[in-house]
Amino acid sequence: MTTLSRRSALALPLAGVLPRPSLAQAWPTRPIRIVVAFGTGGGTDITTRILAPRLSEILGQPVVVENRVGAGGTVGADYVAKQPPNGETFLLATVSNMALALGLYSRLPYDPVKDLVGVAPTVFIPIGLAASAKLGANTAQDFIALLRANPGRFSYGSAGAGTSGHIASSAFLSRIGARAEHVPYRNPGQTYLALQQGEIAFTSDIPSLLAPFHRDGSARLMFVATDERSPAAPDVPTAREVGLGDYKAYSWYGIYAPAGTPQPIVSRMAAAIEQALSDPAISNRFDEMGTPAMRGWTPQRFADFLKSEIDLWVPLVRASGARAD
């Protein structure tokens, strides 16, 4: 049933006695924005732009992707947290600005649990480490030995302080007992260019995004920090295979709304995301990228998951000594 126009409602004073569509059925009536808190060309941006057209088809309204970059994703998260909770603005967030930031910043302008409400996760993100070919290290063992022998000489890049790439690299250095300077960039493209040109020694990011540099010889993927090799780079060993034991690094992406967003809207958006992720064309694309879709989640399960991630990561970030302010 469609919503009556204002004019029709005035002409029918008894319309109030007729059945009304629920809020979830009526929403959305206006275009929807998904704010990506990171730069163009990275995993968050690519993932959202894959999902947006399908979500638009499902919801019947344009779904626009908007990048709001800064401070490891916290600028975009804070922006969405302060938007009206009317179902017109959502956030594509990551473990970085929803969990890691609590350990990196002495004060955040938003509370990830209280100021934002989880809608649904989208994809799981394994992390790999790539070293610049200009280092001349052909194996992970050579690379690790080089870092240990030259404390503080080299630098590593990330798409911003507090991102999962930053923390993954910091944790890796802590694991091997080495030191290197962190260089934050505004977007992944700048990081990749610096890696290829040898301005930084290494970076940690999604294996599928680093694999092209591995193939063309401008950088070398040393390992992936997961239990299994990545389908995006099957020749690259795992962290355990190169002697790093149980070292793991990962991220995840998910959709959030401003706190106070009506539950029917949250549920409808969650169902739309689930439908989009179940589309074979989309799920296969994510599988090929080595970032599998996270299907079958309810908003409540996603909220509980965030709390467990905060409990896991905040102590580890603080123990690493990494700070973003």
Q: Which residues contact 90 (CB under 8 A, 6 or more apart)?
A: 32, 33, 34, 35, 80, 119, 255, 256, 257, 269
Q: Which pLDDT does position 248 carry in this prediction?
A: 87
- Residue 155 DSSP label: E
Q: Which pLDDT does position 167 carry in this prediction?
A: 86
> pTM of the predicted model, to two decimals?
0.79
CA gap 140, 36 in Å, rounded: 33
Q: Which pLDDT does position 25 carry in this prediction?
A: 67
Sign of CA dihedral 235, 237, 238, 241: positive
- Residue 14 DSSP label: G
CA gap 323, 307 in Å, rounded: 21
Q: Which pLDDT does position 3 carry in this prediction?
A: 37
Sketch out the chain's domains with CATH numbers. Answer: 30-124+251-320 (3.40.190.150), 128-224 (3.40.190.10)
Tokens 């394994």 identify what position? Answer: 126
Q: What is the pLDDT along the chain (325 residues), one digit of tens a residue?
A: 443 333 333 333 333 444 455 565 689 999 999 999 998 888 899 999 999 999 999 999 999 999 999 888 999 999 999 999 999 999 999 998 999 999 988 889 999 999 999 999 999 988 999 999 999 999 999 999 999 999 999 999 998 777 788 889 988 999 999 999 999 887 788 999 999 999 999 999 989 889 999 999 999 999 999 888 888 889 999 999 999 999 988 889 999 999 999 999 999 999 999 999 999 999 999 998 889 999 999 999 999 999 999 998 898 788 767 777 6
Q: Which pLDDT does position 22 carry in this prediction?
A: 58
CA gap 9, 306 in Å, rounded: 43
Sign of CA dihedral 155, 156, 159, 163: negative
Q: Which pLDDT does position 6 carry in this prediction?
A: 34
Assess contact for 205 and 44: CB atoms under 8 A: no
Length, in residues, of the chain: 325
